């Protein structure tokens, strides 16, 4: 029955390596298949393609299957999930069960179920990411004045605050959240009714099925509906970019956790020790996050590599080989986001050491160059040369920034531009103060207190809007399920099977 015109069964090696693993993996999509069957049968009845009695019997059989674990029964591993569901349905309701497949194909069925599972995973991932963002922003606000050295090329650059750094991470994660929600929009289109690739001669109502399944719209062109998996590539790209952001964050935290930096301490619940070295507290969670970013990037590469060599039509590459890596990537991303959400409130930052490092590493001398421009009437490039010479002099003498004086600046200026500057020592000292330097940078996007407060408030408002959108999307799916139950009720009331 399952093999149609083919007179021989599948070779055991094909069953072992293709159909049986695919049937196991398809378990996650079974609820979507049953929802699709209900919506399709309801539509067939409304279009008078099935009688009310036929539709009622099929729907009652599907409900019975939903109440039991069909995987607990005997499954034919030589075929796919749909054919097993149909066979079990026919056993329950008789040959009328075979009418469920009118006006569609497995091609559009599986194209629909993978979109339903993908949109579900997008919403789950986005909700978790929203939680992480709220945690990061709350910690950023606490550390809005915790001065630390900012780094470029892993060298001291200019002083910032830990809050400014974390707000930057949150801003990047906010874009990652936006990419997921944008991908949801293009995922939530319904291919059902495309059939194999050319639709059907039955007068079906594709829009009705899309509505009952919670889709925003029909994916109109039937060829495109079964041939395209670009939504999976888009989702995989969004996940890969998100994991890249998380991996870069994990890299910073891992380095800050080293003895040489010692500005962050990992909680013991997120660390492991050595089998031989008693002193070790290894940041294994951070290492796994960085490693798993590679697997998620691999999922994107996998989708694109599979699709690039396929014809623009339905095939087993398109329908069977594209989604597995993406669904696995969702699990990896969700796990990493959850661990970071739990880890962040337990991290301990050494604010005093950060502040001292910002003072020790010449990270404030850019403000001195700016002071020369404002007070001395020189170009920034000239000021850059003057202060660079002062830094060289101090480093040659193994002196720190605390020994930098107005007289040294005056002497370097005479050598560079031929005239000196008698800057008050108090102004020099103020320019070298890390906190004062940070607070002076109070323009849009800077680490100053007013700029930071405005940025965090704007980010919180954006998260509120994202949360409202997520809630609206979830409620839309629930309303569709309720509409499907309501449409099914009059068809199944009083139905008995003979």
- Delineate the domains of the chain, giving CATH numbers in brackets: 12-102 (1.10.275.10), 107-197+219-351+454-479 (1.20.200.10), 365-432 (1.10.40)
Three-state secondary structure call for residue 159: strand
In 3D space, the residue among 160, 161, 163, 148 whose CA is nearest the CA of residue 353 turns out to be 148
CA distance 303 to 359: 49
Average the pLDDT over each of 50-54, 88-92, 198-202, 374-378 and give the range with the smallest value.
374-378
Which value, to the nearest 10 degrees, does the dihedral of the CA atoms of residues 80, 296, 243, 292 take?
A: 110
Distance between first and last Cα of the chain: 23
At residue 417 the predicted structure's pLDDT band, cuts being 50, 70 and 90, is: very high
- pLDDT surpasses 80 at 74: no
Signed CA dihedral, 402, 405, 406, 412: sign only: negative
CA distance 287 to 89: 48
* Predicted pLDDT at 26: 84
CA distance 97 to 92: 8
* Predicted pLDDT at 496: 53
CA distance 112 to 215: 10
Q: What is the pLDDT of residues 333-349, one digit of tens each?
A: 999 999 999 999 999 99
Length of the chain counted residue by residue = 498
Q: What is the pLDDT of residues 217-243, one digit of tens each?
A: 999 999 999 999 999 999 999 999 999
Average the pLDDT over each of 114-118, 182-186, 360-364 and give the range with the smallest value.
360-364
Average the pLDDT over each of 175-179, 429-433, 483-487 and give the range with the smallest value.
429-433
* Predicted pLDDT at 3: 65
* Predicted pLDDT at 497: 44
Q: Which of 11, 17, 262, 274 is catalytic?
A: 274
**Helix 324-343 to helix 230-256 angle, to the nearest 10 degrees?**
30
* Predicted pLDDT at 451: 95
Average pLDDT over residues 471-482: 97
Alpha helices of 344-400 — where are they, by DSSP H?
A: 351-360, 365-376, 380-396
DSSP string across 35-77: HHHHHHHHHHHHTTSS-HHHHHHHHHHHHHHHHS-GGGS---T
Alpha helices of 150-229 — where are they, by DSSP H?
A: 162-187, 206-212, 222-227
* Predicted pLDDT at 495: 64
Distance from CA of residue 38 to its chain's centroid?
31
Q: In the numeric block, which tokens belong to residue 10?
A: 């599948």
Q: What is the pLDDT of residues 60-71, one digit of tens each?
A: 999 998 888 777
* Predicted pLDDT at 397: 93
User: Of all helices (H) and strands (E), which one includes residue 90?
Assistant: helix 81-93
State the chain's mean pLDDT as an integer: 94
Q: In the numeric block, which tokens belong to residue 260?
A: 């040489």
CA distance 119 to 187: 6
Alpha-carbon Rg for the chain, nearest whole angstrom, is 31
Q: Is 180:10 a contact under the CB 8 Å cutoff?
A: no
- pLDDT surpasses 70 at 307: yes
* Predicted pLDDT at 99: 97
Is 295 catalytic? The answer is no
Is 274 catalytic? The answer is yes
Q: Who wins on pLDDT, 38 or 493?
A: 38
Average the pLDDT over each of 16-30, 175-189, 235-249 and give the range with the smallest value.
16-30
At residue 316 the predicted structure's pLDDT band, cuts being 50, 70 and 90, is: confident
* Secondary structure E strands in 180-329: 189-190, 217-218, 264-265
CA distance 298 to 305: 10
- pLDDT surpasses 80 at 498: no
């Amino acid at each position: 029955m399952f093999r149609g015109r083919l007179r021989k069964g599948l070779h055991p090696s094909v069953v072992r390596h293709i159909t049986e693993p695919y049937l196991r993996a398809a378990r996650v999509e079974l609820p979507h298949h049953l929802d699709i069957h209900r919506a399709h049968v309801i539509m067939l009845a409304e279009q008078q393609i099935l009688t009310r009695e036929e539709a009622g019997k099929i729907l009652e059989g599907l409900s019975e299957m939903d109440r039991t674990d069909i995987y607990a029964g005997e499954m034919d591993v030589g075929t796919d999930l749909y054919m097993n569901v149909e066979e079990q349905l026919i056993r329950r309701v008789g040959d009328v069960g075979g009418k469920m497949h009118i006006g569609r194909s497995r091609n559009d069925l599986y194209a629909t179920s993978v979109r339903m599972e993908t949109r579900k995973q997008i919403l789950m991932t986005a909700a978790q990411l929203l939680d992480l963002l709220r945690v990061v922003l709350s910690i950023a606000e606490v550390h809005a004045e915790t001065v630390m050295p900012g780094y470029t090329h892993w060298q001291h650059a200019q002083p910032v605050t830990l809050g400014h750094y974390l707000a930057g991470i949150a801003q990047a994660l906010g874009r990652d959240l936006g990419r997921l929600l944008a991908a949801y929009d293009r995922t939530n289109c319904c291919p059902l009714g495309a059939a194999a690739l050319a639709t059907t001669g039955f007068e079906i109502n594709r829009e009705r099925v899309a509505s009952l399944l919670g889709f925003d719209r029909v994916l109109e062109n039937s060829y495109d509906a079964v041939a395209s998996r670009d939504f999976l590539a888009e989702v995989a790209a969004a996940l890969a970019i998100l994991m890249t952001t998380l991996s870069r964050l994990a890299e910073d935290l891992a380095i800050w956790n080293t003895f040489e930096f010692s500005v962050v301490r990992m909680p013991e619940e997120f660390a492991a020790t050595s089998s031989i070295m008693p002193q070790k507290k290894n940041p294994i969670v951070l290492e796994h996050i960085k490693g798993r970013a590679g697997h998620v990037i691999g999922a994107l590469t996998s989708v694109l590599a599979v699709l690039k060599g396929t014809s623009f039509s339905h095939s087993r590459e398109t329908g069977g080989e594209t989604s597995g890596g993406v669904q696995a990537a969702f699990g990896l991303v969700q796990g990493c986001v959850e661990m970071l959400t739990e880890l962040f409130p337990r991290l301990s930052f050494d604010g005093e050491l950060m502040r001292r490092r910002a003072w020790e590493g010449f990270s404030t001398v850019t403000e001195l160059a700016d002071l020369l421009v404002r007070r001395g009437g020189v170009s920034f490039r000239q000021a850059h040369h003057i202060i660079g010479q002062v830094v060289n002099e101090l480093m040659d003498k193994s002196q720190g920034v605390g020994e930098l004086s107005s007289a040294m600046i005056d002497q370097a200026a005479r050598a560079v531009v031929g005239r000196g500057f008698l800057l008050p020592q108090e102004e020099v000292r103020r320019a070298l103060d890390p906190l004062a330097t940070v607070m002076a940078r109070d323009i849009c996007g800077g680490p100053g207190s007013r700029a930071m407060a405005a940025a965090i408030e704007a980010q919180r408002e954006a998260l509120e809007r994202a949360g409202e959108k997520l809630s609206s999307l979830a409620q839309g799916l629930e309303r569709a399920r309720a509409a499907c139950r309501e449409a099914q009720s009059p068809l199944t009331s009083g139905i008995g099977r003979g």
